[in-house]
């Protein structure tokens, strides 16, 4: 079976992110994903209504994931996705967030071309490339891929979170559960047949088959594929992201430390623009639908109104003021990152694993 003949499923969870849906969907559809399973919860901006419309148009499958979520929104969505028929039918699966864009550098830039480049792969962890804010204050209704073009260096030693990944994996029963960053619950009897490759096409050691959630940092992990991570966006969008809250119950709140660890603008990276000639026509087609277009415009208006409402509260004004005062994050020198990683190695961060919120491992 050639790469283009696979069923490739993207799983997504969203809340109050309707304004980004069309751009994200158009990009990933043209990147070769054949199916989309999208979970929404507690939406105030019409995200759920947009997803219903997109489902009626045949573009995706929408599941309302209303609470309570004792282990967190993402974990309840992952559990539901594991039991969904779309997941059972998929050949390959990738769990994504709305601020993550798959950016493939080989062939026609589709998942099919990536799989053809690594024909014996059973999993391809796509390492984040962090795209900084670049001093952009106001939210603008344009694709983030067109606005944010400065990123962390290709080779970066710290923070280790810059080397976290999301894993495209073969859905052949080797893993029993989906995870946020990687498939979980490995069938130990099948691990000998696993072939994991990083984003530069290098074989990954066996410890990745059963654990670990970030690539080897201090390397170029992007020769074949990278995952553009627009974690911050415009300053106005970051305030709304903090207002929305984290999808993972156990994760710390969004704050200035989250911003500083991701606000790198050291290098220009326009590589994803090569997808625009294919994704732009689909984005225009989707926005031309009267109902979908109306819902999109309403979502954009909601974002502006919500930001203005938050600015009437001191805590949110203070956060926005700190963002204005904070410069792009400095890339650490080799001596600095070696100092930090030497101490981190002593506490075994290389064995960081993805566990459920109650602490259970794979």
Whether 47 maps to a domain, the answer reads: no
Per-residue pLDDT of the chain (362 residues; tens, 9 = 90+): 545 689 999 999 999 999 999 999 999 999 999 999 999 999 999 999 999 999 999 999 999 998 778 888 899 999 999 999 999 999 999 999 999 999 999 999 999 999 999 999 999 999 999 999 999 999 999 999 999 999 999 998 888 889 999 999 999 999 999 999 999 999 999 999 999 999 999 999 999 999 999 898 778 999 999 999 999 999 999 999 999 875 544 444 568 999 999 999 999 999 999 999 999 999 999 999 999 999 999 999 999 999 999 999 999 999 999 999 999 999 999 899 889 888 776 555 445 666 544 444 33
Could you tell me which residues are beta bridge partners of residue 228? 101, 129
Tokens of 67: 């609470």
Whether 61 maps to a domain, the answer reads: no
Whether 151 maps to a domain, the answer reads: yes
pTM, full prediction = 0.94
Other CB atoms within a 10 A radius of the CB of residue 147 amount to: 16
Whether 44 maps to a domain, the answer reads: no
Q: What is the pLDDT of residue 87?
A: 98
Could you tell me which residues are beta bridge partners of residue 126? 166
Sheet containing strand 123-130, strands side by side: 61-64, 35-40, 8-14, 92-96, 165-170, 123-130, 225-229, 100-104
**Is the bond leading into 159 cis (omega within 30 degrees of zero)?**
yes
Q: What is the pLDDT of residue 255?
A: 81
Whether 89 maps to a domain, the answer reads: no
**For the packed helices 47-56 and 290-310, what is the interaxial angle rounded to 10 degrees?**
170
Whether 11 maps to a domain, the answer reads: no
Whether 23 maps to a domain, the answer reads: no
| Cα distances (angstroms) measured from residue 79 to each of 74, 76, 261, 358 | 9, 5, 30, 14
CA 261 – CA 330 distance, rounded (Å):
10
pLDDT tens, residue by residue, 267-310: 999 999 999 999 999 999 999 999 999 999 999 999 999 999 99
Domains held by the chain: number = 1
Rounded to 5°, angle at Cα 188 from 186 and 192: 105
Whether 169 maps to a domain, the answer reads: yes
| Owning domain of residue 314 | 98-351
Report residue 175: phi and psi, to 5°. -125, 140
* 350: nearest Cα among 217, 256, 190, 225: 217
């Amino acid at each position: 079976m050639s790469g283009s003949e696979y069923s490739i499923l993207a799983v997504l969870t969203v809340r109050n992110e309707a304004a980004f849906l069309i751009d994200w969907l158009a990009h990933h559809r043209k990147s070769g994903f054949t199916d989309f399973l999208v979970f929404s919860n507690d939406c105030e901006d019409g995200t759920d209504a947009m997803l219903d419309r997109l489902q009626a148009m045949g573009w995706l499958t929408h599941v309302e994931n209303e609470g309570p979520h004792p282990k967190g929104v993402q974990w309840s969505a992952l559990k539901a996705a594991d039991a969904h028929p779309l997941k059972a039918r998929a050949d390959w699966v990738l769990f994504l967030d709305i601020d993550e864009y798959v950016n493939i550098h080989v062939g026609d830039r589709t998942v099919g071309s990536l799989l053809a480049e690594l024909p014996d792969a059973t999993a391809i962890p796509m390492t984040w490339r962090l795209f900084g804010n670049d001093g952009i204050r106001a939210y603008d209704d344009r694709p983030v891929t067109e606005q944010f073009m400065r990123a962390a260096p290709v080779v970066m030693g710290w923070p280790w979170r810059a080397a976290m990944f999301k894993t495209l994996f073969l859905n052949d029963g080797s893993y029993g559960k989906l995870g946020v960053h990687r498939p979980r619950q490995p069938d130990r009897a099948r691990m000998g047949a696993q072939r994991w490759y990083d984003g530069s096409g290098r074989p990954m050691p066996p410890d990745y088959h059963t654990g670990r959630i970030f690539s080897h940092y201090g390397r170029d992990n992007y020769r074949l594929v990278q995952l553009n991570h627009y974690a911050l966006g415009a300053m106005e969008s970051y305030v709304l992201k903090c207002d929305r809250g984290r999808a993972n119950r156990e994760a710390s709140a969004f704050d200035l430390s989250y911003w500083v660890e991701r606000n790198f603008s050291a290098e220009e990276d326009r590589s994803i623009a090569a997808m625009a000639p294919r994704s732009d026509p689909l984005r225009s087609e989707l926005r031309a639908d009267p109902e979908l277009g109306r819902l999109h415009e309403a979502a954009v208006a909601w974002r502006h109104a919500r930001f203005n409402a938050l600015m009437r509260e001191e805590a949110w004004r203070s956060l926005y003021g700190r963002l204005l005062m904070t410069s792009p994050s400095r890339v650490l020198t080799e001596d600095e990152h070696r100092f930090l990683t030497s101490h981190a190695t002593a506490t075994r961060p290389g064995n960081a694993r993805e566990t459920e919120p109650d602490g259970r491992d794979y």
